[in-house]
Amino acid sequence: MDHFEYRNGELYAEDVSLRLIADEVGSPVYVYSTATLERHYQAFANGVSGLDPLVCFAVKANSNIAVIKTLARLGAGADVVSVGELKRAMAAGVPASKIIYSGVGKSEVDLRAALNAGVHQINAESEAELELLSKVAVDLGETAQVAIRINPNVDAKTHEKITTGKSENKFGVDIALARDVYGRVAKLPGLRVAGVALHIGSQLTDLKPYREAYAKAAEFVELLRSDGHNITQLDLGGGLGITYDAEIAPSPAEYGKMVKEIVGHLGCNVSFEPGRLIAGNAGVLITQVIFIKEGINRKFCIIDAAMNDLIRPTLYNAYHDIVPVVEAPTGAEQLTMDIVGPICESGDYLAKGRKMAALSNGDLLAVRTAGAYAAVMASVYNSRPLVPEVLVHGDTYSVIRRRWTVEDMIALETFPEWQS
């Protein structure tokens, strides 16, 4: 459920007309619903409540500080994968004690920033990283609480580019090697190796891969304890899927029940890292029709949003529902068209072969499920400025990131001295 619905034939975000936002802020524009963010966070937190969990919002899904603050006020922590995300989370009011620093390629700068901030935990992904972390921790006079991310070699049955738990993926320490790694790094100074972490992928719509991975993790925790390791932390990652088209994803309650059955007996402090589940359906991308172009055998709806604003369709062949902001008349004829942007790439499309009621120049469209992995993956390709983000709260809205200008982009560049 989300809080985007038609009222008298016009699409609203909560109690604010999307047409009004487009008129006043311009298009394209991302619009997020506070009520939807809050509802989805609470649904997940309730689903895993029996585990006394730490629920850390995956900042990579939507890193706007106003979105993070919305969730922090409900008690959310943050899962971060860069110094930039760490600073955003802390700027939004997430205490360091609720931040988990993940990521496969942490540099010395990353590790120093994490330790200086006093994050709850660092999820390490290789023995080399742990050796570097030990050096940095000793240098700073700190003791780092660490979980080692294991790779359980479980196929998440999702898109190949967002599957992270198979042996051929770059993430984590292969579970077949991990026992020896724990044994070696437990002797390193400056580390308290207290946990096991895993994350097998994103947009999972079946609990079976989770069951398999979590069962392996539970068995591994018990094995480590038998070796004398004091394992108190278990990070189960995120990745629970949402509905973009016709997917039927497990509910947070079903997921939580499964988790309790498999790892509840371990007595660990359990953490989770949902991102898309919370933010995905909490946002839309509003775009305006520029032209309708009739080809020989295709109809093109050319809009002012493009692949640089929403890259998921061309990157992942992802489906996003696209609906008119002003509802089409009941029974209107459905026409087949490609919905494309103005970028000079054949891959610049948001939908192909989509059935829509007739559209005209100037009509507004809402691209749904754009609250996660949309604004954060945007680029300035073709020197297109980043577009604004808007947060709706009841009957009011606020611009939480202004529209960039070309002048903003040029101001970041300089001529070399010899061109002066």
According to the 3-state scheme, what is the secondary structure of 71-130?
HHCCCCEEEECCHHHHHHHHHCCCCHHHEEECCCCCCHHHHHHHHHHCCCEEEECCHHHH
Structure tokens belonging to residue 256: 């939580």
The reported pTM is 0.94
56 is catalytic: no
pLDDT of residue 159: 47
pLDDT at 412 over 60: yes
Nearest one of 319, 354, 320 to 339, comparing CA atoms? 354
Pure H helices in 163-251: 175-185, 208-226
| Whether CATH 3.40.50.150 fits 103-272 | no
Name the DSSP class of 204.
B
Name the DSSP class of 201.
B
Alpha carbons within 13 A on the beta-carbon side of 298: 11
Q: What's the pLDDT tens digit per position in 267-303?
A: 999 999 999 999 999 999 999 999 999 988 899 999 9
Q: Name the band, by pLDDT with cuts 50, 70 and 90, for residue 156.
A: low
Mean pLDDT of 12-26: 98
Measured distance CA(253)–CA(48) in Å, rounded:
7
Q: Which residue pairs, CB below 8 angstroms and at least 24 apart, start in 134-142?
A: 134/185, 134/188, 134/189, 134/190, 134/191, 135/190, 136/108, 136/111, 136/112, 136/190, 137/111, 137/189, 137/190, 137/191, 138/189, 138/190, 140/112, 140/115, 140/116, 142/115, 142/190
The topology under which CATH files domain 4-32+280-410 is: Lyase, Ornithine Decarboxylase; Chain A, domain 1 (2.40.37)
pLDDT at 410 over 90: yes
Task: Return the higher-pLDDT residue of 331 and 222.
Answer: 222
Residues 354 and 322 sit within 8 Å (Cβ to Cβ) = yes
pLDDT at 155 over 80: no
Structure tokens belonging to residue 331: 């029974």
Mean pLDDT of 370-394: 98
Q: What's the pLDDT tens digit per position in 170-221?
A: 678 999 999 999 999 999 999 999 999 999 888 999 999 999 999 999 999 9
Nearest one of 27, 34, 30, 29 to 2, comparing CA atoms? 34
Domain boundaries, the chain: 4-32+280-410, 103-272
Q: Taken in order 125, 128, 132, 133, is the CA torsion positive or negative?
A: positive
Structure tokens belonging to residue 105: 């390629």
Could you check whether 4-32+280-410 and 103-272 share the same CATH topology? no
